[in-house]
Structure 1
Amino acid sequence: MRTLSFTAIAVLATVTLFGCGSASQSMQSADAGAIPDWFTSIPKDPAVFYAANTQVSQDLQLAIDKATQGARTEISRMVETKITGLQARFTEETGTANNAQLLDMFTQANKSVVASSLTGSRVSKQKQMKDGNNWRAYVLVEYPTGAASAALAQRIKANDDLYTRFRASQTFKELDDEVKKYEESKKQ
């Protein structure tokens, strides 16, 4: 009986030791040379917002979904920054910085456009690779700046008071020009 107990303990100890030893070797990082060029050098184009992201998961589709969501979140930050800049220029130009109702309308338009940027964006490039026991997904998401401008202009036009004040500003002329360029590019 002692021999059987001793053998069982020895087998259990051996399995435990080998089990711990192999786990550290199974999680190897992806080769740095396998990182896509478009991930390390994100394209720059004044007509398009680009964002790259990478995520890891045991499930390939989940890694892709997480990376796509991360890139879209970054694009919405870019869109929000652009709209906030337009709002600041508009309020400075028209002297409406103290008009709470007008600022609230602009804020609502901003939120609406940022939300639409998540649905209007698209994955332009992606790459997946094995990373140890997991999958690593790289994605590049793009969103035309003209689409953001068009969504903002549409939202502003829906509010007569905001549209009347905004239409007379230089900021609106610039926004309108950008929307026209975007509409022309869609026709080609």
Structure 2
Amino acid sequence: MAQKPSSENALYGAGTGSASSLQTAIEKSKMRAQGDIASSIEAQFNSMTRDFREDVSGEELSQFTQAQEQIVSQVLRGVQSEDQRVLKEDGEYRVYTLMQMPIGQAAEQFLSRLQTDEEMYTRFRSSEAFEEMRKRVEEYEESQNAGAGEQN
């Protein structure tokens, strides 16, 4: 497989797995690709929310961090396989998997989760990080609407 693609609208994760069972090799490669995406999501959130984190402390920071971790876990369920290659090497299967996840989808779920804590959401809305995430959500929704229009 070639290098991971890069895009402003999606995160990509690559993984490889090997085993004597094809299914086990596939599962290993998918799990590693999802781990790659999870690391990227955390880096994106940390980048977008750095200033906000400096404005909160104690219990609020703990709640914010917990919300972020739960969202990363939930978002990974929506990751889609983009490409997969299977090779047979010395009696074992080696599988290469490339997975993709729209960035707007992660931002949308993050903002939705934050809305359950009204005080934190109000403070977050006043930050630059909120504007950046809102922009990502709008871009994601526009791309989803454009895709739905093409199917009709």
- Does TM, normalized by the shorter one, top 0.5? yes
Match of residue 112, structure 2, among 140, 148, 154: 154
**C-alpha distance after superposition, 1:54-110 (max 9, x if no partner):** 111101111011000011011111111211223322134xx33xx212101211211
Hey, what does 1:126 align to over in structure 2? 84
Instruction: Give the Cα–Cα distance (whole angstroms) in 2 for the partners of residues 117 and 73 of structure 1.
Output: 12
TM-score (norm 2): 0.90
Largest Rg, 1 or 2: 1
- 1:84 equivalenced with 2:46 (yes/no): yes
Which amino acid is 1:74 matched to? D
Hey, what does 1:108 align to over in structure 2? 66
Structure 1: tracts of 5 or more residues without a match: 1-35
Hey, what does 1:32 align to over in structure 2? none
RMSD, aligned CA = 1.2
Hey, what does 1:62 align to over in structure 2? 24
Match of residue 102, structure 2, among 133, 136, 144: 144
- 1:185 equivalenced with 2:148 (yes/no): no
Which amino acid is 1:144 matched to? P
Equivalenced residues, count = 146
Instruction: Give the Cα–Cα distance (whole angstroms) in 2 for the partners of residues 124 and 76 of structure 1.
Output: 16
Q: CA deviation at 1:184?
A: 1.2
- 1:176 equivalenced with 2:134 (yes/no): yes
Identity %: 30
TM-score (norm 1): 0.74
Instruction: Give the Cα–Cα distance (whole angstroms) in 2 for the partners of residues 178 and 87 of structure 1.
Output: 14
Instruction: Give the Cα–Cα distance (whole angstroms) in 2 for the partners of residues 178 and 42 of structure 1.
Output: 21
Structure 2: tracts of 5 or more residues without a match: 147-152
